[in-house]
Chains A and B, each alone.
Chain A
Amino acid sequence: SQELEQSPQSLIVQEGKNLTINCTSSKTLYGLYWYKQKYGEGLIFLMMLQKGGEEKSHEKITAKLDEKKQQSSLHITASQPSHAGIYLCGAGGYGQNFVFGPGTRLSVLP
């Protein structure tokens, strides 16, 4: 079965700094999803990547899928306190085959 690892596990940055979160898969990715979770809330869908080399942006968040389709990165430019939360990547097939990474906890200090 597919397994996803994320790094770093947690991250503390000063407001305005850039940061990158990585998601690495044990198998080729055929659809990589990024979600954000704020404490006490559900998962909010951010972006989905499918093609090798694909890059998508939403506001100050950019996600990329590498050419080999085994790693994705999430980059936040000029971080703000509103970016704080847990970022999870998800991928796989359907049902039990769809897995989530363990998450990266981001704190942004004002």
Chain B
Amino acid sequence: DAGVIQSPRHEVTEMGQEVTLRCKPISGHDYLFWYRQTMMRGLELLIYFNNNVPIDDSGMPEDRFSAKMPNASFSTLKIQPSEPRDSAVYFCASSFGTGNTIYFGEGSWLTVV
């Protein structure tokens, strides 16, 4: 049974470039989360969707960040333009219903130079 699938696993990009991270949640899950992990701040929730609709994007740091979920099996997190301080691991996660276990992908390691 496939878990949450993220791509790319690693990305190194230059400051100012656009970065797009992709996620395929577990089939049947109706909640999708985007987290960011850094040494300084730990895991932070950026945004989450329920049935493809963004519910809470209060964790999105700036307007440079945007996320979409065009259908139940695909979501993107875009950073435009990217900055060095965006360097982090970005996790996508999904769950079924509220209060149930959240399953994580393996993360996208982003380095902005």
A and B physically associate: yes
Q: Would you call A88 and B43 a contact (CB within 8 A)? A: yes
Interface residues of B in 55-113 (CB under 8 A from A): 55-56, 58-59, 91, 93, 98-99, 101-107, 109
Q: Would you call A100 and B43 a contact (CB within 8 A)? A: yes
Q: How many A-B residue pairs have CB under 8 A?
A: 41
A-side interface residues toward B, CB under 8 Å?
Answer: 31, 33, 35, 40-45, 48, 88, 90, 94-96, 98, 100, 102-103
B-side interface residues toward A, CB under 8 Å?
Answer: 4, 6, 42-43, 45, 48, 55-56, 58-59, 91, 93, 98-99, 101-107, 109
Residues of B within 8 A of A88 (CB): 43
Q: Would you call A42 and B99 a contact (CB within 8 A)? A: no
List the A residue with the shortest CB-CB distance to B45: A96
Q: Would you call A45 and B101 a contact (CB within 8 A)? A: yes
List the B residue with the shortest CB-CB distance to A95: B56
List the B residue with the shortest CB-CB distance to A33: B101
- Do A100 and B58 contact each other (CB < 8 Å), given the known contacts A41-B107, A43-B91, A94-B98? no
Q: Would you call B106 and A95 a contact (CB within 8 A)? A: no
Residues of A within 8 A of B109 (CB): 40
- Among B4, B42, B98: residue with most chain A CB under 10 A: B42
Q: Would you call A42 and B98 a contact (CB within 8 A)? A: no
Residues of B within 8 A of A43 (CB): 91, 93, 104
Whole-angstrom distance from the CB of B100 to the nearest CB of chain A? 9
Partner of B42, one of A31, A44, A96, A103: A103
Q: Would you call A95 and B104 a contact (CB within 8 A)? A: no
Residues of A within 8 A of B93 (CB): 43
